[in-house]
Chain A
């Protein structure tokens, strides 16, 4: 039992399922027209979860350059 009195086995099974659901982190980096970078983070689900393949915990990183977009507004900070 854990600190809250719940069954560890049940909790571990639930966590394992959720870890699989989280998927593999994939980065795609682009450069905007004004020179700032932007990174898309996506999470590829494993084959067992019915999505694309990938090993949990690994990170891939691709780099592309954006083009054809107009000026962009700013953000607070």
Chain B
């Protein structure tokens, strides 16, 4: 069963997807469903002996191109909609033991071209209002397959967090005629205390308002609402700074750091968003080498994060963690 249920209290959609309870959970070590299909071996998701980058529809999607009828009827109080959309899996490499951090810059640059292609193709569908590209990494995030991969959700609505960003960015734009994110980049580069890495095209910083101790946002210096607005040099610059931030993460505590990576881009609902600014956000759950940040009472119940660290201090730590030169 899968449907959208409207929460009239918070004014947001919840997606039910009961079939996902049966999704593959930590398969045997000798069989990965995301590896290429080897001769004589059971078939995997990819019917080929090798590949560079592969994208396919998730077998256990939260949204479907042809969604099932909702399991309950909606009414004025409890609106219900079919969960129409698309969920994709993006396989970064055929190398089971690889990761984005271990990838060459050229391979990350290729992946960025694929992300851009998916954003354009999915965003062109009339029922897709928002394309969310993301990666969950690490057991503590709930990842059940270790093969390097990310996901894409093509939403039939603009989800609440990007919607709040858009609302505040538009308000700032209307009152100042400037982009909110461009102002943040200007502040951070002048201040410098929260910068983690930078090159000619991008800036990576722990946000002034970080919710997680080692949260990092990566933003293009030039105003660009989506990946499609980035030129070749900028995409290469993004590949370089992504690799640098990911290597810093893996060197921070001496193990591959779990994280959630999300890409925020302009919605694809047919409206113009000149006030929006493309960026990537990382949320690593570790607050120390051995301790995790949990979303407990204040975070889950009130929606207010308690950060146990100072962004200026965690940024300094990440800045001093190799690689230190881009």
Interface positions of A (Cβ within 8 A of B): 2-4, 15, 18-19, 21-23, 25, 27, 30, 32, 34, 36-43, 56-57, 59, 66, 69-77
Contacts and interface: CB of A to CB of B under 8 A. Distances in A.
A30 B51 CA distance: 14
Given A15-B233, A38-B54, A42-B52, A73 B44 contact: yes
B19 to A, nearest CB: 10
Contacts of A57: 232
A18 B232 CA distance: 11
A19 B48 contact: no
Contacts, number: 121
A40 B48 contact: yes
28 contacts: A3-B199, A15-B233, A15-B236, A27-B117, A30-B47, A32-B47, A40-B48, A40-B54, A41-B53, A42-B52, A43-B52, A66-B47, A69-B47, A70-B43, A73-B27, A73-B44, A74-B22, A74-B23, A74-B33, A74-B45, A74-B59, A75-B23, A75-B34, A75-B145, A75-B149, A76-B23, A77-B58, A77-B89
A72 B53 contact: no
Contact of B200 (A2, A42, A72): A2
A18 B109 contact: yes
A38 B23 CA distance: 19
The CB with the most chain A CB atoms within 10 A, among B45, B87, B105, B143, is that of B45
Contacts of B325: 4
Interface string B26-50: 0100010110010000111111100
B46 A4 contact: no
B113 interface: yes
B48 A75 contact: no
B24 A75 contact: yes
Contacts of A4: 198-199, 325-326
A76 B23 CA distance: 6
Interface in B109-152: 109-110, 113-114, 117, 142-145, 149, 151
B226 interface: no
Contacts of B145: 75-76
